[in-house]
Amino acid sequence: MSRRQRYEPNIKKNSTFTLNITSMTDMFTIMLVFLLQTYSTSEVQIVPDSNLRLPTSASMANPTEAVKISLSSEALKIDQTKIADVKNADFLPQDLEDKDANFIKPLFEELDKLAKSSSDKAHIKEGRILLQADKELPYATLRKVMYTASMAGFPQLKLVTMVGE
């Protein structure tokens, strides 16, 4: 019986390996362009709730740091903490003041507590709010939130929108 010999390619032991960096440079250029395009220059990150449909706008202004209030068709939240329930595009009667139907008691209490406890932050001192509101809610519901926020010492309110085409 004959033995088969294993195939071994002829490799020159003294040869030098040359690296072609053209394709590697192309790859790094593509990665750099991708990272620059996806880099957010805004100092504030806003993540809307899944059930919140923000209105669209052509404005390209970046938001500044502020208290984040979210108003959907189901709830009113401050920084993901539920403050009051919303039903049929309006607040529940127990959350509204008896003498003033535009005044939301739980919202005022939370904003007042926030203003008294965190007075060292500039956006709280200046009374800034970023309001994320569902585009299907009527203006009367938004007006109640804006009225209550101004009564609590937060008169600078900005509506958060999605960039539209």
Residue 135 domain boundaries: 56-163
> Does residue 43 lie in a domain region?
no
Let me know if residue 44 belongs to a domain.
no
Q: Is the dihedral of CA 138, 142, 143, 144 positive or negative?
A: positive
Q: Is residue 93 part of a domain?
A: yes
Asked if the structure places residue 79 within a domain, the reply is yes
Task: Convert the pLDDT of each residue in 1-42 to its tens digit.
Answer: 567 788 777 766 666 666 778 888 888 999 999 888 777 666
Query: Residue 78 corresponds to which tokens in the numbers above?
Result: 């401050």
Judge whether 145 and 71 are in contact, CB under 8 Å: yes
**pLDDT range class, residue 105, cuts 50, 70, 90:** very high
CA 31 to chain centre: 25
pLDDT in tens, 139-151: 999 999 999 999 9
Amino acid 163: pLDDT = 77
Task: Please provide the average confidence, as pLDDT, over all residues in the chain.
Answer: 83
pLDDT band per the 50, 70, 90 thresholds, residue 106:
very high
- The domain tally of the chain equals 1
